[in-house]
Structure formats: structure tokens, C-alpha cells
């Protein structure tokens, strides 16, 4: 589990079809990762959760599965900058949102415009009809919702009704300290939709009656037998608002 707050940048190299190495930069922020890094640790590389299998000098090695290569950009370009974040530890600050490191699909940067105090960046989500992952991203893109782009926790400022494109406002710190500053129109990015939205959508789509166990807070209320029983008035009466 990660927060989407990038700690430093690294450079990725493709060693084999299923193995990559990531070298850490010489910046002081790299020490945050390097001083505690150990074999078996989880590291988000451009938003992809990978397990460290070897550590050599100032770089670590990880195995990448065929599924990961299909769903992400890791296998596409070597010797480029990637965002790095170590896994969330108990007691750590959660400044972004819950990011699993499981990429839903590949998006594309459409435009990046510098404004007075931010960069307004517009991305498209996968839209090909034969892309079996399309519907796992677009339905969860909503205004003011959370989304991870290359492992960066961002807030959706605007999007179309279907979620095929979305726009974010990136503050200068996030822009310069991540590889967003290296992207050009047409650059491909890893996208992970908000996991909380996925669970909510599943309950609403299939209904609570299809599950043997209700959410704990609702299960304690005997008046709830199914989704139709959960109304705004019911939630107010039971202290949910």
C-alpha cells in the first residue's frame, strides 16, 4: 500500500524481458529510500508495486510479470526517469490517498499548460473498444475524486461525463519533484483509479443482497436487508451524516 506521494526519482533500465533495474539519483531525497531499502521490500515504480530482488551499489533489481508489462509503461522505454515511493508503514502520515500499486491501464498526456501557480495537465484514459481494461478506469474518474498518475496522488479538477479524459492542476513542487516535468504531449502514463470508488461501484452495481456480509457499520443495523433500504433519511437517522 502506498500514498501517492513520490519520494524521489530514479532511472529505469530493462535488463531482460522480465527484469528491470532502477538506479537512484544523487539527490538528498534518494537517501530516504536507500538507507532502509532491503531485499523483499515493496517499491512503487511509476505507480507499479514491485518487489526488490537484489541491491547492487546505487540501484535495485525487480522482476516484472507479463501482466504488469501489458498494463503499464515499465517495459516500453529504458533509461528514463521514474517516480519512486516505498510502501506505507504503520504510523506514517497519509497525505495523499490509498494507492495499491496495481495499475488499471495506460493513459496519455494530451496537454500541459503552465498557469500562474500550477500546471494544468489533461490526460486521456484508454478508449479503444478492444481494450478490456477501459471500463476499469473511466467509471471511477469523477470531479474532485482521487487518481494516481505514474504513482502520483492527484485530484481530478475536471473530466467528461464518461471519464474518457480528465484534467488535474499540479502545484510546482509536485511538478518539479516528479517525472511529470519530463512528460510531453503524447507521453504514456500509468493510471490507477481510486480503490474506494471501485468497491462502492461494485456494491451499487450488484447490490448488497448478493453478499452474505454487509459492511460492518450497516450490518449492526437490523433494519437493513438490502440496498433499497439505504436511503438518505435512513443514513441521517443512524448517524452517517
Sequence length of the chain is 241
- Domains, the chain: 8-86 (2.40.30.20), 105-196 (2.40.30.20), 207-237 (no CATH)
Give the dihedral of Cα atoms 235, 238, 239, 241; nearest 10 deg: 10
Instruction: Indicate the range of 33-47, 69-83, 193-207 predicted with least confidence.
Output: 193-207
- pLDDT at residue 135 is higher than 80: no
Residue 88: predicted pLDDT: 83
Residue of higher predicted confidence among 128 and 235: 235
User: At a CB cut-off of 8 Å and minimum separation 6, what does 51 contact?
Assistant: 40, 41, 42, 43, 62, 63
Among candidate residues 66, 73, 64, 84, the one with its CA nearest the CA of residue 23 = 84
Residue whose grid cell is 481530478: 156
What does the pLDDT average to over 38-52? 96
Rounded CA-CA distance 60/105 in Å is 25
Contact 185, 110 (CB under 8 A): yes
pLDDT for the residue 108: 95
pLDDT in tens, 94-126: 788 889 999 999 999 999 999 999 999 999 987
Amino acid at each position: 500500500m502506498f500514498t501517492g506521494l513520490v519520494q524521489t526519482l530514479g532511472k529505469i533500465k530493462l535488463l531482460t524481458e522480465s527484469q528491470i533495474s532502477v538506479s537512484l539519483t544523487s539527490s538528498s531525497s534518494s537517501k530516504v529510500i536507500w538507507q532502509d531499502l532491503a531485499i523483499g521490500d515493496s517499491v512503487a515504480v511509476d505507480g507499479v508495486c514491485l518487489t526488490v530482488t537484489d541491491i547492487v551499489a546505487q540501484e535495485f533489481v525487480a522482476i516484472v510479470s507479463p501482466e504488469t508489462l501489458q498494463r503499464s509503461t515499465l517495459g516500453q522505454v529504458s533509461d528514463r526517469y521514474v517516480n519512486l515511493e516505498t510502501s506505507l508503514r504503520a504510523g506514517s502520515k497519509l497525505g495523499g490517498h490509498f494507492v495499491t500499486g496495481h495499475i488499471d491501464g495506460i493513459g496519455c498526456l494530451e496537454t500541459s499548460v503552465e498557469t500562474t501557480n500550477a500546471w494544468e495537465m489533461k490526460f486521456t484514459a484508454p478508449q479503444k473498444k478492444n481494450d478490456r481494461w477501459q471500463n476499469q478506469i473511466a467509471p471511477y474518474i469523477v470531479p474532485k475524486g482521487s487518481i494516481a498518475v505514474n504513482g502520483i496522488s492527484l485530484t481530478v479538477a475536471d473530466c467528461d461525463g464518461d471519464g474518457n479524459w480528465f484534467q488535474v492542476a499540479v502545484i510546482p513542487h509536485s511538478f518539479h519533484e516528479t517525472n511529470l516535468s519530463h512528460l510531453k504531449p503524447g507521453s504514456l502514463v500509468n493510471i490507477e483509479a481510486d480503490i474506494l470508488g471501485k468497491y462502492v461501484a461494485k456494491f451499487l452495481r450488484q447490490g448488497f443482497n448478493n453478499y452474505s456480509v454487509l459492511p460492518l457499520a450497516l450490518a449492526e443495523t437490523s433494519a437493513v436487508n438490502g440496498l433499497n433500504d439505504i436511503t438518505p433519511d435512513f443514513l441521517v437517522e443512524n448517524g452517517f451524516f
